[in-house]
Structure 1
Amino acid sequence: MKSIIVTLVLAFTASSAFAHGDVKCTARPKAEWKPHTELAAKLAAEGWVIRRMEATNSCYEVYAKDPQGKRIEAFFDPVTFKRVEE
């Protein structure tokens, strides 16, 4: 039973680690974060169509169509709004 639990825990943590590749956002205090609505307005002005936006522990995660119409998942620094690449 113990080995099954260990296997499940390892499988779960491995799958969540691979979910976003190697995206590394800089951890900053939440008090420094700009509102997600500002990022949404910036991206909309650039031609993005946002489907969903979430805050992770250190990034804004955006599910959208880019200006070329391609569906993407992108990560942005919540202080600078600079896109964080994998």
Structure 2
Amino acid sequence: MKKLLAVALIASFASTAALADASCPAQPKDKWQKEADFKQQLTAQGYQIKKFKVSGNCYEIYGHDKDGKKVEIYFNPVTGKPVKSNIEN
């Protein structure tokens, strides 16, 4: 039982640490770019979005870039700038 609890605690801290890496400043939602408009901008840049979601105070996408590489990118929803990205090599 203690081992199970320890594993659960480690997993919860690990997932919190992963989110901490993609830190977007808290902004009022009315300042955020509209999701549909933001998705359209990304599509125009060549991204193929498989999944789009709000992750904390960030927009997050999973999909492919214009070169076909698999991507996971967190964006500041106000500025639209990436704050963290994982791109397949």
Gaps in structure 2 of 5+ consecutive residues: none
Match of 1:42 in 2: 41
Contact 2:61/2:73 (8 A) holds in 1: yes
- Coordinate RMSD, CA, aligned: 2.1
Match of 1:16 in 2: 15
Paired with 1:13 and 1:35, the residues of 2 have a C-alpha distance of: 31
- Pairwise CA distance, 1:39: 1.2
Contact 2:51/2:63 (8 A) holds in 1: yes
- Pairwise CA distance, 1:26: 1.4
Gaps in structure 1 of 5+ consecutive residues: none
Return the structure number with greater strand share.
2
Count of aligned residue pairs for this structure pair: 85
Q: Deviations over 1:14-68 (max 9, x none)?
A: 2313445722211112222111111110011011100010001200000010111
TM-score, length of structure 2 as denominator length: 0.78
Moved over 3 A (4+): 3-6, 18-21
User: Does residue 60 of structure 2 align to residue 61 of structure 1?
Assistant: yes
TM-score, length of structure 1 as denominator length: 0.81
Match of 1:77 in 2: 76
**Paired AA for residue 38 in structure 2:** L
> Identity of aligned pairs, percent?
33
